[in-house]
Structure 1
C-alpha cells in the first residue's frame, strides 16, 4: 500500500521544504522503505526551462529530459532515486494538459472548471507511477496564502479525503522566530499559518518548526494546543552545520517516528544512519582545504549553481577535504591583467551559461588554467569556451566564436538543429520556441582509449550523462584543434557530437558538454568531481 505525505510551507518562503522533504525521504529509506518524491509548483510557466537563473535558481534536468525545479536535485542527492518528468508539475503544465483535452473534445461539451477538472488533473499527477512504493512525498511549492497555490491545496485536500488518513499525512513547515528584544521564541506565526490551512480544509498532522535554537517544552505544548496536534508531532527543525546533517537532526527530533506513528506502522528499531554520520564527519572535520574558483555569470544568486556547489562538496568528501568556493563574476576578467585574480587557487571551474555576456572573461580564465597548469573543469558552455580559446590562441583562428553570439566567419560552436536520440531523429527549427527545445536528458558518450577521462571513469568505454544545451562544438574543426594539442576524448556514439575534450600534456584539464553535477551524490561523488578535487589537492600540496 502506497502512503502519501504532503509537505506544505507557511509564514515565509525559503524555509527549506525541499530539504525537509529530501531528509524525510532519506530517513524512511534508511528504515528500509521504498520512497519517491515529487514537487507541485504553482507558477504558470510550463517548466522553469525559460526562466532566468536569477528568477528561479538552477534548472534541474532528469534522465528523461524534463527541465524541473532545483528541489528535485535535493531529492536525488539525498535518496539516490532518479526523478522523472512525472515528478514535477506546474500550474502551466496542468492547465496545458486540461486545455488540450478540451480542444480535443474529451470533456464531451461540458464546462471546464478549476473544480473538478484542474483538481482532478492534479490528483492524477500525484497518483501517477506510484505502484510498488511505500511512500510518496509530495512537496507543494510556494507559501500557504498564495492565491496561485489554491488549486493544489484543494486537490491534496480532496486526495487525502478519498484515500483516507491511513494513506495520507499532512506535514506543515513553519517558522518559530526568536525576537531578541523580547528574549522569546514566538509561536503566533505558526498558529496563524495553521489557521490559514484549516480555512482551506486541511488539518496538519505534523508541524515542522524552523528555528535557530531549541523550542522549550512549554512552547511546543502551546503550539500543539492551538494547532490541534499532539505535542510529539511538533518537530523542531534546528539550524545545522551543513545540509547533510538535516536527516540526523530530524531523526533525533523524532520526525520519522511521527510519520510512521501517523500511519499506524511500527516505530521500533532505528534507521541505518551510518552513511549520514560518515558524510557529516567528513564535511565538518576535513583533513585539509582546497580553493576552487568558479568563474561564472550568475554568481549573484548561488542557487543558480546549486547542484554544482554540492557536487564540488561531494568531491571534497571523496578526499576528506573542505572545498572553499571562490565565486568569481567572469565579467571582471574582461579588463587587461585582471585574470591575475586567479593566482593562488587550486582549481578553476567554468560552468554552464547562456549568451555572450561574460564569455570573454571565461575564455581568459580558460587560458590562465591552460598556461599555468591549474586543474580545470569546463562544463557545457565552459567546454565550448575552452574549445574557442584553443581555436584562437593555439590554432590561430582569431575570429573563432559561437553562433550563439551572432554571425561568425569561424563557427567553432554552432546551433544544433537535429540530432539522434536512440533510434529517433529529433529536430529543432532556428527561431522556434525556446522552451523544451534543447538537447535535454541522458545521452551516451564513447570514451577514447588511453584518455584521462576514461581513467577518471574507471576504464569505462561508454558513459551516460545529462545534457541541457542548444549549441554544439563543430566537429569540422577537430583535426586542426587536435593538431594543436586539444584532444577530443569523448564523442557521441555516431562520432558526430563532441562530448569531452582534454589536454594530454596538462596535469588535469577536462571540458565536458554535459552536466555531471546533476548525477553527483554525497554518498557517491561523481568521478569527474572526485578527480577534479583530487587534482586540486595535488596542486595544493605542490604549493
Structure 2
C-alpha cells in the first residue's frame, strides 16, 4: 500500500510544446528536496512507442539510461541532475507501455470477457503507475510531468487519470502546476495572455483546475499581466509565477524560490516550511558566473543538427568546466563532413575532442578520423560507447597493423572485426530494450588515467550497447600499446581503454555523462576538461 503521507504534484503544459515543463518540474523538485523532503520524479509520455529506445535522436533527443537499465526520456536527465537522485524504470512510462500491458492481460483472459476501454482500464493502469512509484521510492512528494500539450488527443487519458487520482485522494494531497507560454508580440510591444487563458480553459473543461500557473516568456511579465491571468484563470495573482528565459537552466530554481513557489506549494500540500539549503546550487551558480576563461571542445557525432541528442554530454562538459573555472565552448562537428582534407580545419583549433555514442555506420569513419587526429596531435580525447569502438578501430588500423579494422556491426565479413557482437546478443530479434542496459561494474587498473580520475578499483557506469571489443584481437592490440584500463570483474569485457604515451586519451564503453551533476562533475569529464585546459594554456 502507498503511504498516506505521500503528496503528488502534476505538471502539465499548454499553448506549445518544448516550454520547459521538465525544467520547471525539476526546479520545484530541487527546492523541495533542499527543504529536506524526499522527492522523486516521473515522466509520462503520450506517444505509442513502448519507450524511446528505438526512436531516432532526431525525433526525441538523447535516450537517458537509468541504473536499472530503463531507456527513458531525456527529461529524466534533468530530474537526476536537479534533485541529485538516481531514478528507476518506474520514473518514466509511455502510453505505448500502458497499452502493451493491457493488451497482454486481455490476451491472457484477465478481464474475463469484459470490454477493455480507455476509462476505466487505461486510466486505472496509469494510476497504478503513480501509486507504484510512490510506494517503491518511499518519497514524501512525487512530481509527475505529463508530456505533450493540453488539447492533444494523445495526452487526454493521462489528464483524466490525474483528475481521477486527485478525486480519490484527501484534500491537499494532490496539486496541479500548469506551464504555459506568454508570447511577446513585437508589433504591439507587449506580451499577450490570451493563449494562456485558452490553455487553462481547455484544462478546466476536462475537470482540472490548476493550482499554480508558471508563465514562460522571453520578456518580463509584469504584476499587471500576472493579475490579468489570475483573474481569468481563477487563481490568486501570487500563484501566477513568472519564468522568463535565464542564462542558465540552473538559475530557474532560484528564480522560482524568490517568488515563494516552494513555500506556496508546501502550504497547499499541508507541509511545514522546513529550512531550505540552497548553498550548493548557489555556489555552483556563483562559480559559473565567474568563469572568465574559455576552453574549446569538439563533439564529433552524427546527430549534431539537434543538440538535445547530446544533452547529457553537453551538460557534463559544462559541469566540468565550472569545476575548473572555465566556460566550455562546445563545437558540434558532423562526423560525415570529416575526411583527410577537412579534419585539420575542423579540429585543429580544438583543446579537446570528444566522440560520443551513437548507432549505425553513418559518420563512423569521421569518428575514426577524429580519434586518429587526437592521437597523432596529442589532443586530449574522450570516447564514449561508440566513441571507444571508433578509437579501437583507429588504433588497430594505424598502430597495430590491422588494415581496414572495423566493427562487425558495419561489415560482417571484415578481416579484422575488432568490434564484434556480444555473444548474448546473437539470437536477439527484438531491438527494443534488449541491449546491455544499465549500470555494470568495472575493475579499474592502477597507474592509469582512469584510476587517477576515479580513485577507486571498482566503479559502475551505465551501458547501452550490443557490440564490444573482440577478445580475439585484444592481446594483439595490447601488444601494440593499447592500454585496457578497465574491464568487467571477470576480465571478459573491455570497459575502458587509453594510451600511455599521450597527454590524456581515454575511452569508456559506458556512458559517464549520465552520472554527472552540477555540483559533482563526473571524474572522466573533470579530468578530460582539465587536460584540455592544460593544452589550451600552453
TM-score, shorter chain, exceeding 0.5: yes
Judge conservation of contact 1:33–1:134 (CA < 8 Å) in 2. yes
Judge conservation of contact 2:333–2:346 (CA < 8 Å) in 1. no
Q: 5+ residue gaps in structure 2?
A: none
Counterpart selection for 1:434 from 428, 431, 435: 431
For the pair 1:481 / 2:485, whether they are aligned, the reply is no
**Partner Cα separation in structure 1 for residue 466 and residue 339 of structure 2:** 25
Judge conservation of contact 2:482–2:498 (CA < 8 Å) in 1. yes
Q: How does 1:449-528 map to 2 (within 5 A)?
A: 449-458=446-455, 460-528=456-524
For the pair 1:307 / 2:307, whether they are aligned, the reply is no
SS of 2:253 mapped into structure 1 = helix
Counterpart selection for 1:387 from 371, 374, 392: 392
How far off is 1:127 after superposition?
A: 1.1
Judge conservation of contact 2:368–2:394 (CA < 8 Å) in 1. yes
**Partner Cα separation in structure 2 for residue 338 and residue 533 of structure 1:** 21
Counterpart selection for 2:358 from 353, 357, 360: 353
Q: Which residue of 1 aligns with 2:421?
A: 415
How far off is 1:232 after superposition?
A: 1.0
| Between 355-364 and 326-335, the greater mean CA deviation after superposition | 326-335
Q: Which residue of 2 aligns with 1:97?
A: 101
**Partner Cα separation in structure 2 for residue 428 and residue 438 of structure 1:** 11
Judge conservation of contact 1:28–1:35 (CA < 8 Å) in 2. yes
Change (3 A) 1:299 1:337: closer
**Partner Cα separation in structure 1 for residue 111 and residue 25 of structure 2:** 35
Counterpart selection for 2:239 from 233, 236, 240: 233
Counterpart selection for 1:145 from 147, 151, 160: 151
Offset from partner CA, 1:21-71 (integer Å, 9 cap, x none): 110000001111110000000000000000000000000000000000000
Judge conservation of contact 2:343–2:373 (CA < 8 Å) in 1. no
TM-score using structure 2 length:
0.97
Counterpart selection for 1:70 from 70, 74, 92: 74
Q: How does 1:107-126 map to 2 (within 5 A)?
A: 107-126=111-130
**Partner Cα separation in structure 2 for residue 523 and residue 127 of structure 1:** 31
Judge conservation of contact 1:339–1:365 (CA < 8 Å) in 2. no
Counterpart selection for 1:271 from 250, 273, 276: 276
How far off is 1:265 after superposition?
A: 2.9
**Partner Cα separation in structure 1 for residue 219 and residue 499 of structure 2:** 51
**Count of aligned residue pairs for this structure pair:** 531
Q: How does 1:262-341 map to 2 (within 5 A)?
A: 262-267=268-273, 271-341=276-346
For the pair 1:538 / 2:534, whether they are aligned, the reply is yes
Offset from partner CA, 1:45-103 (integer Å, 9 cap, x none): 00000000000000000000000000000000001111101110101100111111111
Change (3 A) 1:266 1:179: same
Judge conservation of contact 2:22–2:75 (CA < 8 Å) in 1. yes
Q: Which residue of 1 aligns with 2:14?
A: 10
Offset from partner CA, 1:469-517 (integer Å, 9 cap, x none): 1111112211111121111111111111100000011110001100000
Q: Which residue of 2 aligns with 1:423?
A: none
Q: Which residue of 1 aligns with 2:376?
A: 371
How far off is 1:399 after superposition?
A: 2.3
**Partner Cα separation in structure 2 for residue 92 and residue 502 of structure 1:** 41
For the pair 1:85 / 2:85, whether they are aligned, the reply is no
Q: Which residue of 2 aligns with 1:224?
A: 230
Offset from partner CA, 1:381-414 (integer Å, 9 cap, x none): 0000000001100111112111111221211001
**Partner Cα separation in structure 1 for residue 323 and residue 448 of structure 2:** 22
How far off is 1:270 after superposition?
A: 5.1
SS of 1:476 mapped into structure 2 = coil
**Partner Cα separation in structure 1 for residue 103 and residue 337 of structure 2:** 47
Q: Which residue of 2 aligns with 1:422?
A: none
**Partner Cα separation in structure 2 for residue 520 and residue 156 of structure 1:** 32
Judge conservation of contact 1:35–1:135 (CA < 8 Å) in 2. yes
Offset from partner CA, 1:457-479 (integer Å, 9 cap, x none): 02x11111100011111122111
For the pair 1:49 / 2:75, whether they are aligned, the reply is no
**Partner Cα separation in structure 2 for residue 161 and residue 428 of structure 1:** 49
Offset from partner CA, 1:151-193 (integer Å, 9 cap, x none): 1110000001101331000000001111121111111110000
**Partner Cα separation in structure 2 for residue 364 and residue 389 of structure 1:** 8
Counterpart selection for 1:362 from 367, 378, 401: 367
**Partner Cα separation in structure 2 for residue 182 and residue 270 of structure 1:** 44
**Partner Cα separation in structure 2 for residue 218 and residue 484 of structure 1:** 71
How far off is 1:339 after superposition?
A: 3.2
Judge conservation of contact 1:22–1:78 (CA < 8 Å) in 2. yes
SS of 1:147 mapped into structure 2 = coil
**Partner Cα separation in structure 1 for residue 426 and residue 480 of structure 2:** 33
Q: 5+ residue gaps in structure 1?
A: 419-426
Counterpart selection for 1:197 from 179, 196, 203: 203
Judge conservation of contact 1:333–1:364 (CA < 8 Å) in 2. yes
Q: Which residue of 1 aligns with 2:131?
A: 127
SS of 2:338 mapped into structure 1 = helix
